[in-house]
Amino acid sequence: MAKGFVVIDVDRCKGCGLCTNVCPVNILALSRDTFNAKGYHPVVVTDVEKCIGCASCARICPDIVFTVYRQKRQTQRAKIGASAVAAAPAV
């Protein structure tokens, strides 16, 4: 499964909660303890390790709060290839 992470522009959030309903791994929630500059409880990521970079949050957010980054699969293959070469017997 792909890995990703999101950067949240906290002060743009209006606490509508739309994003918390679409995240497939349930890692978005509205903060109960903090307020942003607009006076709303902003969205927070509860477990950054679980983000799959699907960008559902960014698509549904009406206020362009999220920037989503996704780890490239090519990078993972390159690492696997590098390991295999290192494990091959010397001729």
36: contact with ligand SF4 by CB under 6 A = no
61: contact with ligand SF4 by CB under 6 A = yes
81: contact with ligand SF4 by CB under 6 A = no
Phi/psi at 77 (5° precision): -65, -40
Query: What's the distance, CA 4 to chain centroid?
Result: 5
Q: Which stretch binds ligand SF4 (CB under 6 A): 24-32, 73-81, 82-90?
A: 24-32
Element (H, E) at 21: helix 18-22
Q: For binding to ligand SF4 (CB under 6 A), which residues are involved?
A: 4, 6, 13-19, 23-25, 27-28, 43, 51-57, 60-61, 63, 65, 68
